[in-house]
Homo-oligomer: A and B are copies of this chain.
């Protein structure tokens, strides 16, 4: 009788960890692509087969978390969107806790937060939020939704879109892989650092920048297109 689900006793609609993970994946694809998520995209994101995705989409549609029409891809309903946003909120708040309080680095905290985001207790996450000083951004610079799911979009540009002489502050990353984050750590291109564009090389789209008004650094396009800067 559904004893193995996350919830044990609640009047809210039951939702399993697997269902939550699918909702989050759909939410991200919807956001990133700006359109309905198709089966293959979801199976790629979730590391499952297309068949499994179809099964899950039926379940999620039954529970009114998604709008689903065969062969047409899916979008989230209001409730699905609310649930996904709450997950993102939990994930990012736990990441702040792991980094600020337990000393994890920004490339380590993601995997642990993937587990912690499934803890069921709206009250817990609000208390944790207060304990951490109601942070607005997670350790990667991604904005943390408030209890109602709202969050301010940052005024940001990609580093590769900046022109010579532009200045700003590093506020986030697009790519979130450990390898990329560790590379940024090594070269000193971390959150809150001041960035000034000194030169742009058309040949390979690399850019020379100055960090905190001190050391100069040559950045490849692969890096610059994944770094967000808030223009001063």
Contact = CB atoms under 8 A, between A and B. Distances in A.
A124 interface: yes
**In the complex this chain forms, how many copies of it are found?**
2
A129 B12 CA distance: 33
Interface in A108-155: 112, 115-116, 119-121, 124, 127-128, 131
Contacts of A48: 3
Contact of A131 (B3, B17, B101, B119): B101
A4 interface: yes
A112 B124 contact: yes
A105 to B, nearest CB: 12
A114 to B, nearest CB: 9
A21 to B, nearest CB: 10
A192 interface: no
A14 interface: no
A164 interface: no
A188 interface: no
